[in-house]
Homo-oligomer: A and B are copies of this chain.
C-alpha cells in the first residue's frame, strides 16, 4: 500500500474508534453518519467512500472488536506458570473495571439480535471463550473434585459472568459481591488445603 493509504488507514480506525465511543454513549441505534464523522473528526461523506455503508462500518466494528475480545480472553487464561486463582482474579478484575468495554460488547450483541448475518460472529466469540475456559478449568475441575461435568461448569461460569455484566449495565450490583467473595474464598481454601 502506498504511504497515502496510511493516512486512510488511520482515518478508518478513527471511524471505528469513534463508533465504539458512540456505542458507549448513545447505543447503536443513536449512531448516524454525521454524528460519527464529527466524533471521528472526519467528513461524513467518507463513511460511504470508505465503508460503502453505515451497515458495513458496524460490521467492521464488530469484527475488530471480537478479534480483540478473543485475543484478550486467550491471554487472560492461557498463561503458563500462573496459579489458577491468579487467573481467576485477573478475570474478575476485568469484569469489575471494564464497564465501557462491556457496554460496547453488549450494544453489538443487541445489534446482532436484529441482524441475523451478525449472529455468527457473536457465537464465535462465545465458543472461543468456552474453549479457553474449558482448557483453563480442566485442571482445577479435577484437582478440586468439583461434582459437576466440566462442560456444565464452564457454562455456569460463562453465563453467570454474562449475567453480572448485563445487570451492571442497568446499574444493578446487589448480591454480586457476596457471590464473587464466596467464590474467591472457596478457591483460596482449595489452594491452601
Contact = CB atoms under 8 A, between A and B. Distances in A.
B178 A149 contact: yes
A69 interface: no
Interface in A124-173: 126-127, 130, 148-149, 151-156, 158-164, 166-167, 169-172
Nearest to A29: B29
Interface stretch (A10-18, A42-50, A104-112): A104-112
Copies of this chain per assembly: 2
Contact of A170 (B27, B119, B154, B166): B119
Nearest to A112: B170
A contact face: mostly helix, strand, loop, or mixed: helix
Size range of the interface on A?
35 or more
Given A27-B114, A29-B114, A119-B170, A178 B163 contact: no
Given A107-B110, A122-B170, A160-B163, 9 more contacts: A26-B114, A27-B113, A30-B114, A123-B172, A127-B174, A155-B178, A156-B179, A159-B163, A159-B166
Interface of A: 26-30, 103, 106-107, 109-110, 112-114, 119, 122-123, 126-127, 130, 148-149, 151-156, 158-164, 166-167, 169-172, 174-176, 178-179, 181-182
